Amino acid sequence: MDNREIRLNGKMSLKGNYLVAIANLVVITIISYAFQMLFTGSTVDVQNFNTVSTISGGTLLLNFLISIVSMLVMSLLNLGYNWGFLNIQEGKQMTVSYLFAPFKYQAQKAIAFVFRRDLLILLWSLLLIIPGIIKSFAWALTDFIYHDEPDLSNREILEKSEQMMQGNKWKLFRLEFYYVLFYLIPIIIWMISALFIANNNTNMNDQVTGALFLGLFAGFMLVIGVSVLLTFVIEPKKRAARAAFYKSLLY
């Protein structure tokens, strides 16, 4: 099965589930933001419209532990999120409850699994970025394998993903880069505009140059906003495609 067919299978599985997939991503984003607020201890000064960062009664160790807990919770939510995409491949309906499934079933094993995998990817990335990327693709199917074969040990899950991805890393990279391109389009447009203005500002007066650079800044903020919105549109499609990719390797 080629990547075009895999993307089509992923798209078909989202019929009737797309809005729930977006809602689940919104839930993950809100919980992530709540943990960031907890970690930084941020409060808002309404009168001055400034965000004041305060560390309330915590030590560096406490903040470190909070950050670890936050990352584990996010990893578990993403684990459940990916399980939802696997189940809709089988014709089931996606619900919000999928997000919290890892907390309900063998929670200790799920925590140990995401912690081990994410820590190993981090350590590989600290060596060089490329080895970390390679490992992330080698273990790209671990969430699905964990769901289908919960009796495997965490080590066996990682090993099975590596075996399944032998000779398939480049194919998955090309599959997912298709979706990454949508994020790059507004960035490329902004960069071309910036280069054009930078190369032609010698013939402009200071007022026009200032206005153009102000416009560039506003455009940059717009690009950030568009990228955030694109995440909610593109990410469910990318994850559905990855689940379809996993299924294609099974048959």
Distance CA(206)–CA(204), nearest Å, equals 7
Instruction: State the amino acid at position 140 in one-letter form.
Output: A
**Dihedral in degrees, nearest 10, Cα atoms 220, 24, 111, 157:** -90
Phi, psi of 73 (to 5 degrees): -60, -45
Tokens of 72: 């584990």
Tokens of 11: 């798209």
pLDDT at 47: 43
Residue whose C-alpha is closest to residue 58's, from 41, 35, 34: 41
The mean of the pLDDT values for the chain is: 84
Phi, psi of 53 (to 5 degrees): -90, 125
pLDDT at 137: 95
pLDDT tens digits, residue range 211-231? 777 777 777 788 788 888 888
pLDDT at 164 over 80: yes
Q: State pTM to two decimals.
A: 0.81
The answer to whether the beta carbons of residues 74 and 114 sit under 8 Å apart is no
pLDDT at 206: 62
Distance CA(193)–CA(195), nearest Å, equals 6
β partners of residue 129: none
Distance CA(1)–CA(245), nearest Å, equals 9
Residue that is written with structure tokens 């990318």 in the block: 238
Q: What percent of the chain has pLDDT over 70?
A: 86
Distance CA(67)–CA(115), nearest Å, equals 13
Residue that is written with structure tokens 């203005």 in the block: 197
